[in-house]
Every structure is written in structure tokens, then in C-alpha cells.
Amino acid sequence: MTASSPDVITLSGVVVVVLVNYLREHQAWGWMRMVQGPTALKDTPGLCFAKVMGSGHGGGFGLRPSASHQGLIAMFAHADQAHAFLNGAHVKAMHERAGDFWSGMLEVMSARGQWDG
């Protein structure tokens, strides 16, 4: 599909992806972050939207939820805001409680569909 198609939206921004496998002693803390959802990030500068993600048992997909595997997707207006978030207290707290941790930044080029719309 080309960028001129009506169902493709051209926009700019940066998406942050954080994947965490919490240590056993921090799984309850991780669950509480999941329950709070994106409202815990409402005052984050430049945040356009955020979504928290769970996983199936063992890190896969399934009906039985994982107590330790979680993710976060957050979109920011500018890269400097995304960097500040990745270096900030919220992500640092996740990293300190994780056995495995991964984060990445992706530049937004276009999008299809909507989140929350």
C-alpha cells in the first residue's frame, strides 16, 4: 500500500518498547504495574499514548497468564522525550526488578488503524 492510500496515516514520533521478565520476588510488584496500566504514566512529558501488555505462561500465548513476562509500548512526540523516559525512574524500576530486560526505540513512519479510537 502506498502512503497516499486513505487507510494509511503518515505521522511522526518515536515508539518505545520495553519487555521484562520479572524476578520471582518482584512479580507482585510487576502485577501492580500492570493493574495501574498507562495511568501511571499520565504525567510523562511528550507521551502520546501507552499500553501495557501481559503474556501467556512461559512467555508465549495462551489462556494461562505469565506471572513474570510483561511489556510496555509508549509513543512519544520526540526522540529526546523517549530517551528521557528510557533513562527515567519508571523504566529504571522495571529494570532493577527484572531477570531479563530489553528496550528499544522505533521511529514512526506511518500507521494503520487506531489505538483507543
pLDDT confidence band for 94 (50 / 70 / 90): very high
Average pLDDT, the chain: 85
CB atoms within 10 A of CB 19: 19
pLDDT confidence band for 79 (50 / 70 / 90): very high
Q: What's the whole-model pTM score?
A: 0.82
How large is the greatest C-alpha to C-alpha distance in the chain, in angstroms?
Answer: 50
**Residue 30 scores a pLDDT above 70:** yes
pLDDT of 1 reads 43
Closest by CA position to 49, among listed 83, 73, 81: 73
**Residue 35 scores a pLDDT above 60:** yes
